[in-house]
Structure 1
Amino acid sequence: MATTPEAVHAFRERLGLPGLVDVHTHFMPERVLRKVWDYFDAVGPLTGVPWPITYRHEEERRVALLREFGVRAFTAMLYPHKPEMAAWLNAWAAEFAARTPDCLHTATFFPEEDAPAYVLRAVEAGARVFKAHLQVGGYDPNHERLDAVWGLLAEAGIPTVIHCGSGPVPGKHTGPEPIARLLARHPRLPLVVAHMGMPEYADFLDLADRHAEVRLDTTMAFTDFSEQFRGFPSGELGRLADLGDRILLGTDFPNIPYPYEHQLEALERLGLGDDWLRAVCHDNGARLFGLSF
C-alpha cells in the first residue's frame, strides 16, 4: 500500500519540521528510468527477494507525491552506465531542475576524456549535487580521468552522493577501500555515502570519523527490507548518534519496495531521539545546501 500524505505529515508535525530534505530521490529521462525499473523487476531472482516499485508513476505524479509528503527539497539522482552518456543526462537534469524549483540541480559523470569539461559546465550552470554509482558504472573512483573532476568538486565544495557500498550485490570497485584511497588524495572532498555504505556500515562510519566532509545518507538503511539481508550492527548505534550532524535523509523514491513513510518509521525506531531525527530529516540537508524554509 502506498503512503498516505497524512502519515508523513503526522511524522513532521510531531517533530515540528517545516518539511523534509531528501537527498536521494531519482528522476531521469523516462526511457532511462524504465530500464532502471526493469533492473529492479529482475533483481528479485538475483537476491531471492522481490523488489516491487511502490511509486511506478509518471513523472508529474511522482513530483506531486513528494510535495504532498512535505518534501521541500529533493534530488534527481541519475547516473551513466557507459561512456558518452553523462553529458546528455546532465542536460536533461538541468532542464528538469529549471522546471522543478524544489529539485536540487543534480549532475553526474563517468571516467572519460571529456568528464572534466562537462562537469565544469554543470557546475557553472548551477549544479548543487552530483551522483556517482560505482556499482552500475563499474568504474574505480580513482580512475585517472576522474582526478580533475574530484579536484574541481572538492574546490567548489559541491557534494557527490556516491553508491560505493557492496549492496545489493557487490561490484568490482565497491567497498570502503577505493573510497579510502580517493579521500587520501582529496581529503576535502564532500562525499555523501549512499545507503549508509551497506553492508559495510562500520567501515564507512570509520571514514566519516576520519574525514569531516564525509556524510552518509539513510537510503533504505534500517528498513525491514534491508535488515533481512545484513542488518545495521547494533553496536554502531552510538557512533550513528555521535555523527548525527552528518547523517542525511535519503529514501530512493520512487524505486522502493515499501511506502515512503517506512523509511521515516525505520529511523524513528532506532531510538536516537527527536533532536537526531530533526537533524537527519531536515537540518543537516538544509545546512549542506544552504536552504531556508
Structure 2
Amino acid sequence: MSEQRKVSEEAGEVRRFWGRLGLPGLIDVHTHFMPERVLHKVWAYFDTNGPLVGGLEWPITYRKAEEERAALLREFGVRAFTSMLYPHKPGMAGWLNGWAADFARRTPDCLHTATLYPEPDVETYVREAVAAGARVFKAHVQVGAYDPADERLDPAWGVLAEAGTPVVMHCGSGPAPGKHTGPEPVARVLARHPRLRLIVAHMGMPEYEEFLGLAERYNEVRLDTTMAFTDFTEGFMPYPRAALPRFAALGDRILFGSDFPNIPYPYLHQLQALERLGLGEEWLRAVCHDNAAALFTAADPHTCPSPAPSG
C-alpha cells in the first residue's frame, strides 16, 4: 500500500472517530511546529535514542515538511492545534516567539503559541507575546533543565495568570527525569500563582497520581493526554488503573494532546487508546474537543472554535 493511501485511510478513520461522537472535529493542544532547522535537530536527537527520550527507539511517524504536516492535521479534522516550541538555553525564547507569531499569522487554525526561559528579560517578552495575541505558552522543564519555580520566572507566571493564558508544561519525569522535573517544583509555582492555567503535559507521567493531586487541589490545573494510555507508553510507564476513577472525575479538565508529528505510532492510536478506557462518549466529546474549546474561548472568543452543540 502506498504511503499516500495509508495516510488517506488513517484520516478517514480519524474523521469517523469524531463523527461518531457528533463533534465538528478535534482540538489538539499538543502539536509541534517550530523553525524547520530546529525541528530537524529535534528529530535527529530522537534518532539517536538519547537519554532525554529514555534511550527508547522512537521513530518519527510524520516526518514531513511543514505544509504537509499542517495539511494532514486538517485532513484529520483537527480544527485547532498548537505550535509547541521551547528553548534550551538563554536568548532563544524571544527568537522562537517571533517565529511562532509569524506561523500563527499564516496558519489561522494554529493557536498562537509562545514560550519562555528563566532569564532577565523573560517578563518583558512574555508581556509582549501576550499583547501580540499569544493564546498558549509552552514550558519544557526537562529539555530546558530549569526549575519552574526559579524566581526569574515568577513575574512571567504572574503575567500569564493575570491574562488567563494557558501554559502547557512538560514537567513530569517521563520519558526520562530531568534535574527539575516532578510535582514538587510545580507545586511551588502553584502556591504562588494558584490562578495559573497550567496544562500538565503527558498527564505528568510517570508521576500521574501526584499531578492528579495538584489538579484536584487547584481548579485551573488541567492535564493533557499526550501519549498517555498508548501501547508505546503503557510498555514502560503504565497509567495506574487504581487512579482511573480520580482521572474520570476530572473529565472537564482533561484535554486531548497527541505530540504530532513526533510520535512513534499513528495519530489514530491516541484516540483509540482514549476510547478503550471505556469512560463513555460524553467524556470523549469533552476531552477531544469541548474542554479545549471552552478554555480557549474563555481566554479569547475570537481565536478558537466554540464547543459543539449538545444533543
TM-score range with shorter-chain normalisation?
over 0.9
Give the structure 2 partner of residue 276 of structure 1.
283
Residue 165 in structure 1 maps to residue 178 in structure 2: no
Residue identity in the other structure for 1:180: A
1:229 counterpart SS class: coil
More displaced stretch, 43-52 vs 116-125: 43-52
Instruction: Note the 1:141-290 alignment, pairs <5 A.
Output: 141-290=148-297
Residue 32 in structure 1 maps to residue 35 in structure 2: no
Residue identity in the other structure for 2:305: S
1:39 counterpart SS class: helix
On the 8 A contact 1:133/1:162 being kept in 2, the answer is: yes
On the 8 A contact 1:208/1:214 being kept in 2, the answer is: yes
1:4 counterpart SS class: helix
> CA offset at residue 104 of structure 1?
0.1
Residue 22 in structure 1 maps to residue 28 in structure 2: yes
> CA offset at residue 41 of structure 1?
1.0
Name the CA distance, whole Å, in 2 between partners of 1:192 and 1:134. 13
Residue 84 in structure 1 maps to residue 84 in structure 2: no
> CA offset at residue 144 of structure 1?
1.1
Give the structure 1 partner of residue 309 of structure 2.
none
1:110 counterpart SS class: coil
Name the CA distance, whole Å, in 1 between partners of 2:71 and 2:305. 21
Residue 124 in structure 1 maps to residue 137 in structure 2: no
String of CA shifts for 1:68-89, please: whole Å, max 9, x gaps. Answer: 0000000000000000000000
> CA offset at residue 43 of structure 1?
2.1
Give the structure 2 partner of residue 11 of structure 1.
17
Q: How many residue pairs end up in the alignment?
A: 293
Name the CA distance, whole Å, in 2 between partners of 1:192 and 1:49. 25
Name the CA distance, whole Å, in 2 between partners of 1:108 and 1:251. 19
1:73 counterpart SS class: strand
Name the CA distance, whole Å, in 2 between partners of 1:153 and 1:9. 34
1:55 counterpart SS class: coil
Of residues 63, 67, 85 in structure 2, which corresponds to 1:60?
67
String of CA shifts for 1:135-169, please: whole Å, max 9, x gaps. Answer: 00000011111010000000000010000000010
> CA offset at residue 44 of structure 1?
6.3
String of CA shifts for 1:169-198, please: whole Å, max 9, x gaps. Answer: 000000000011111111111100000000
Name the CA distance, whole Å, in 1 between partners of 2:288 and 2:194. 26
Structure 1, unmatched stretches of 5+, are none
Name the CA distance, whole Å, in 1 between partners of 2:123 and 2:55. 40
Structure 2, unmatched stretches of 5+, are 1-5, 298-303, 307-311
Name the CA distance, whole Å, in 1 between partners of 2:10 and 2:21. 18
> CA offset at residue 49 of structure 1?
3.3
| Structure-2 change in CA distance of 1:81 and 1:288 (3 Å) | same
Percent identical across equivalent pairs?
72
Name the CA distance, whole Å, in 1 between partners of 2:56 and 2:198. 30
On the 8 A contact 1:44/1:50 being kept in 2, the answer is: no
String of CA shifts for 1:195-235, please: whole Å, max 9, x gaps. Answer: 00000000000000000000000000000000000200001
Residue identity in the other structure for 2:166: P
On the 8 A contact 1:44/1:51 being kept in 2, the answer is: no
Give the RMSD, CA atoms, in angstroms.
1.2
Residue identity in the other structure for 2:22: G
Name the CA distance, whole Å, in 2 between partners of 1:181 and 1:104. 28
